[in-house]
């Protein structure tokens, strides 16, 4: 994932010791060439797991997920963060606490698109304290579906989400793992955690 690390170094902005801004290629403007590479990498890491569907969270999880879905030949379902006029009943819902905003928001998906036969790959843009991943896992569990694992574009290894999820026996594949954002510098983990 050299292209991803290169992009983080050249275009990412360290906003504080704990927050990285990557609006230039992932969270606002999207780099399709990079997204395709990320999608193919997720597909190769989870090949042979029998994944039937990808579940992600709007909006920044959608781009890498769609490319992974294209590569794996499976649909992509994104959880919504806001109430929708068309998404009203038969919902699976989970509360996701945001440390940065200090608030809990519900995320929802329609029960129509998840079944107990599904084998789910959860994908998200960042992994920090694991709240978003937890909410998505809860939705997979509510549907009675199986979880193949979690694919993360950027894991902040100095926050505890990855350790907690792996400690629960969940397979977490992160394409870039950051050990530190101290002093405005991005320090990568030398070997991507898996």
Site size for ligand 5GP, by CB under 6 A?
Answer: 20
CB 19 within 8 A of CB 44: no
What is the torsion angle, in degrees rounded to the nearest 10, for the CA atoms of residue 70, residue 8, residue 58 and residue 36? Answer: -10
What are the structure tokens assigned to 151, written together? 């694919």
Sketch the per residue contact string, 162 through 191, with ligand 5GP: x for CB under 6 A, - otherwise.
------------------------------
Stretch that binds ligand 5GP, among 18-26, 35-43, 78-86, 110-118 (CB under 6 A): 18-26
155 binding ligand 5GP? (CB under 6 A): no
Using the rule CB under 6 A, is 19 a contact of ligand 5GP?
A: yes
Rounded CA separation 143/28 (Å): 31
Mapped onto helix, strand or coil, the DSSP state of residue 117 is coil
Whether the link from the prior residue into 59 is cis, omega within 30° of 0, is yes
Q: Residue for token digits 């989870």?
A: 46
Is 102 marked within a binding site? no
Dihedral pair phi/psi, residue 173, rounded to 5°: -115, 115
**Residues in contact with ligand 5GP, shown as a per-residue x/- string from 40 to 79 under the rule CB under 6 A:** -----------------x--x-------------------
Residues 6+ apart with CB under 8 A from 192: 1, 173, 174, 175, 176, 177
Residue 193 is labelled as binding a ligand: no
132 is in an annotated binding site: yes
Tell me whether residue 8 or residue 51 sits nearer to ligand 5GP (CB atom). 8
Q: What backbone phi and psi angles, to 5 degrees, belong to 66? A: -65, -40
Alpha-carbon span 165 to 129, nearest angstrom: 10
Q: Which of 64, 69, 130, 149 binds ligand 5GP (CB under 6 A)?
A: 130
Piece in contact with ligand 5GP (CB under 6 A), picked from 21-29, 47-55, 87-95, 109-117:
21-29
Per the annotation, binding residues are: 20, 27, 128-132, 156
In the complex, the residues that contact ligand 5GP under the rule CB under 6 A are 19-22, 27, 57, 60, 99, 124-133, 156, 161
């Amino acid at each position: 994932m050299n292209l991803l690390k290169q992009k983080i170094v050249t275009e990412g902005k360290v906003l504080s010791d704990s927050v990285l801004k990557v609006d230039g290629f992932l969270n606002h403007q999207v780099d399709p060439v990079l997204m395709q590479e990320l999608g193919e990498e997720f597909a190769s890491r989870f090949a042979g797991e029998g994944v039937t569907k990808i579940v992600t969270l709007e909006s920044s999880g959608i781009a890498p997920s769609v490319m992974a879905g294209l590569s794996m030949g499976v649909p992509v379902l994104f959880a919504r963060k806001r109430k929708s006029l068309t998404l009203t009943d038969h919902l699976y819902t989970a509360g996701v606490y945001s440390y940065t905003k200090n608030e809990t928001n519900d995320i929802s998906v329609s029960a129509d698109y998840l079944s107990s036969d599904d084998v789910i790959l959860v994908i998200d843009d960042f992994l920090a304290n694991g709240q978003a991943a937890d909410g998505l896992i809860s939705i997979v569990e509510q549907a009675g579906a199986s979880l193949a694992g979690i694919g993360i574009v950027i894991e902040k290894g100095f926050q505890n989400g990855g350790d907690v999820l792996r400690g629960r026996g969940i397979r977490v594949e992160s394409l870039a793992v950051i050990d530190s954002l101290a002093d405005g510098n991005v320090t990568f983990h030398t070997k991507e955690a898996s």
